[in-house]
Amino acid sequence: RCHRVTGVQTCALPISQRLTAMAQALMPVGRSNIVGSQPRSFELGAFRYSIRSDDKDVVMNVSNGSGETSVTLQWAFGSGIVGQSYVWKQGSDLMETRFNYFGKINSFDWAPGRLHSPPQSLEMAVGRPISAAEAGGCLRCHATAVPSDLDMSKVVPGITCEACHGPGAKHVAAQKSGADPAGLILNPARLPQADATDFCGSCHSSFWDVTLTGHQGIATVRSPGYRLEKSKCWKSDKTLTCTTCHDPHQPVAHDVRAYDAKCQGCHNNRIKRTSAKHISLCTVSTSNCASCHMPKYELPEMHSKFTDHNVRVAPKAAFVE
């Protein structure tokens, strides 16, 4: 069911997709169940923060004993499962809070990678301006129909149908008229393996994103596309892509056993490859495959563990690039 929102053709999402972290990647801050529904107070370094909502606004107050200031927060980036950050418009700039909420600790801490030391002034503790280039990158992965001028009033919050499938007006018109809609909308499931992985990696960090930025070490565990392309499974099975295991229209399964059937679909003594070689089942276990072959690694500044998508016989020692 499709309709127009702020001049953009968009579709009513399946109930399951509305529950995904992608659909909740951006929201008006009043809809956040973290800061929009209850007062929150916490201290970071020399600064005390309090966030409260009334019938209209969500207001952040920052004080350090010698002064205080308040701003009205407008947008929440992130579903809050891993984290959530907060943004508001100040003059012509978008501003971001110096802190993030982190789901695993149900609390707040300095935003990772933003500061090498605690803020030295009240003004700095309130927030930082986001450049247009950075804001555009953030919005294109957290929202749909992002205009070139980054006008937030025109943005559709969260990842909806057209964010992945492209403009849908012609597709909808064909469906309504009974015409053949084939070819009128993008279906990422039909992309070749490398293109499909890069498609998801455009927001979840592709091989080239990591390679060109020169990132190395354990931080790359947050780049599942990059890590997946390093794995022997991806290189040997040209049908393996992100959507082999993850349905973007369903919330991500967090029970590791949910992925056993996917692993055993190939690693099964009844399956033969074109090389006529059998792919045997694991000799250690027939369940919880990913717990050994896709271990989780903790990033302290994120207060969370991330699954390593480099599928392999993983060493029990530290992370391996």
Residue 272: pLDDT band by 50, 70, 90 thresholds? very low
Instruction: Report the distance separating Cα 241 and Cα 298, nearest Å.
Output: 24
Task: Give Cα separations from 128 to 68, 99, 100, 131 (angstroms).
Answer: 16, 10, 13, 10
Q: What is the CA radius of gyration of the chain?
A: 22
What average pLDDT does the segment 47-52 reach?
97
Instruction: Report the distance separating Cα 299 and Cα 78, nearest Å.
Output: 17
Other C-beta atoms within 10 Å of 176: how many? Answer: 10
Residue 111 CA from chain centroid, whole number: 16
Other C-beta atoms within 10 Å of 209: how many? Answer: 18
One DSSP character per residue, 78-144 reads S-SSSEEEEEEEETTEEEEESEEEETTTTEEEEPTTT-SS--SSHHHHHEEEEPHHHHHHHHHHHEE
Other C-beta atoms within 10 Å of 317: how many? Answer: 6
pLDDT of residue 193: 96
Q: HEC string of 156-197?
A: EECCCHHHHHCCCHHHHHHHHHCCCCCCCCCCHHHCCHHHHH
Looking at per-residue pLDDT, the higher value among 251 and 113 belongs to 251
Instruction: Report the distance separating Cα 93 and Cα 74, nearest Å.
Output: 13
pLDDT of residue 100: 97
CB 25 within 8 A of CB 143: yes
**In this structure, what token pair is assigned to residue 232?**
């022997």
Residue type, 251: P
Of 196-200, 239-243, 265-269, 277-281, the one with minimum mean pLDDT is 277-281
182: Cβ contacts below 8 Å, ≥ 6 apart: none
What average pLDDT does the segment 165-192 reach?
89
23: Cβ contacts below 8 Å, ≥ 6 apart: 13, 17, 158, 159, 160
What average pLDDT does the segment 175-203 reach?
91
pLDDT tens column, 216-227 = 899 999 999 999
**In this structure, what token pair is assigned to residue 139?**
């919005």
pLDDT tens column, 133-174 = 999 999 999 999 999 999 999 999 999 999 999 998 998 899
With CA atoms as reference, report the closest residue to 150 among 234, 97, 87. Answer: 87
What average pLDDT does the segment 16-29 reach?
92
Percent of the chain beyond pLDDT 90? Answer: 69
**DSSP for residue 253:** P
Q: List beta partners, residue 272.
A: 278
Instruction: Report the distance separating Cα 278 and Cα 268, nearest Å.
Output: 8
Q: What is the pTM of this model?
A: 0.87
> Does the pLDDT at position 4 exceed 50?
no
